């Protein structure tokens, strides 16, 4: 537990009432509904607050980590020693001018896709079913059907780990398949500008409805989960198919430890049946990864990041060794 009263008082000075929680149980904020208790959970209301609190934490040497909607994060069951800064829908403005769209990091992705299409702009339909925020989507160059949001990014406003504000061009973001320089450098997205092409609203709406219907059929949307666990790498896809198919061939659909289970609906999802712990989920993911390597010769890499008790975000596959 952080014990410095000066630290607490200074942190509270940076925020309005209700934006700082002490001894915060993170399970309720986790899409997997697992995780331990954090010393502090801070939920900034403005981009300036994001920069201010990070600058203060950096100067004070207090451990911290930034998260979004946790769509791709597994939180340790242990005590999280430090400050968890969560970018939420407090930062949720969308501004549209011609083909350019500016959105804050806390905008819910499905809302963003609907808003863009509603203005007769095409290019965001593929993200309609992704449960997360714009900040996280940009960090991992998220998307579906092997597309990534980075193709539409014009620029991204970020805060670095010292609290400095940066403006990155699309080229400077170095987008790759499910990765970016933003993610690799530990930058925190506060806002982004996108450019989309003109499209027909009715056609775009039909396309998004079809994507949502397909997702409802294929994915376990009613149980807590973190989306796709393993990366559908294009090179692996060509030689072995998507991760779900590899896992199916290894007869692991439905494999279960405690209340953590490989989904019976889609094998690249691990669901919480009710009382799973993060350790249960780690054990399931490790068994799946080890089995696929032994039987198929495929070393599956995780999309999911793991939030350690030391306030660090690391690839989940790094803790499976």
Is 201 a catalytic site residue? Answer: no
Q: In DSSP terms, which residues pair with 257 in a beta bridge? A: 260
Report CA 54 to chain centroid distance, whole Å.
Answer: 20
Q: How far apart are CA 125 and CA 170, in angstroms?
A: 20
If you write DSSP's letter for every residue of 254-273 in order, what string do you get?
T-EETTEEE-SS-TT-EEE-
Closest to 15 (Cα-Cα) out of 83, 93, 113:
83
Q: In DSSP terms, which residues pair with 307 in a beta bridge? A: 75, 313
Residue located via tokens 């100067």: 59
Backbone angles phi, psi at 113, to 5 degrees: -60, -45
Asked whether 26 and 40 are in contact (CB, 8 A), the reply is no
Is 102 a catalytic site residue? Answer: no
Asked whether 43 and 26 are in contact (CB, 8 A), the reply is no
30, 228, 263, 267: the catalytic one is 228
76, 178, 180, 232: the catalytic one is 178
Report CA 139 to chain centroid distance, whole Å.
Answer: 8
Neighbours of 1 (CB within 10 A): 9
Is 283 a catalytic site residue? Answer: no
Active-site residue numbers?
A: 178, 228, 303
């Amino acid at each position: 537990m952080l014990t410095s009263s000066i630290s607490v008082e200074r942190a509270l000075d940076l925020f309005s009432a209700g934006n700082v929680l002490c001894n915060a149980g993170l399970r309720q904020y986790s899409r997997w509904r697992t995780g331990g208790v954090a010393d502090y959970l801070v939920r900034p209301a403005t981009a300036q607050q994001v920069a201010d609190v990070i600058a203060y934490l950096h100067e004070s040497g207090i451990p911290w980590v930034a998260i979004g909607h946790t769509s791709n994060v597994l939180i340790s069951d242990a005590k999280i020693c430090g400050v968890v800064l969560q970018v939420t829908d407090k930062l949720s403005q969308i501004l549209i001018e011609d083909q350019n769209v500016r959105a804050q990091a806390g905008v819910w992705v499905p809302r963003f896709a609907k808003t863009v299409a509603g203005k007769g702009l095409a290019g965001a339909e593929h993200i309609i079913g992704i449960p997360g925020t714009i900040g996280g989507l940009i960090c991992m160059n998220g998307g579906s059907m092997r597309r990534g949001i980075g193709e539409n990014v014009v620029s991204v406003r970020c805060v670095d780990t010292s609290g400095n504000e940066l403006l990155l061009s699309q080229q400077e973001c170095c987008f790759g398949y499910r990765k970016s320089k933003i993610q690799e450098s530990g930058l925190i997205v506060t806002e982004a500008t996108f450019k989309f092409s003109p499209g027909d609203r009715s056609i775009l709406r039909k396309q998004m409805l079809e994507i949502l219907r397909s997702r409802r059929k294929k994915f376990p949307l009613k149980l807590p989960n973190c989306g796709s666990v393993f990366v559908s790498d294009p090179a692996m896809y060509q030689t072995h198919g998507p991760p779900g198919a590899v896992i199916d061939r290894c007869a692991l659909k439905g494999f279960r430890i405690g209340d953590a289970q490989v989904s019976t609906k889609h094998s690249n999802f691990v669901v919480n049946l009710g009382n799973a712990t993060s350790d249960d989920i780690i054990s399931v993911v490790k068994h799946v990864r080890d089995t696929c390597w032994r039987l198929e010769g495929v070393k599956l890499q995780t999309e999911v990041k793991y939030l350690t008790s030391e306030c660090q975000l690391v690839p989940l596959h790094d803790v499976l060794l």
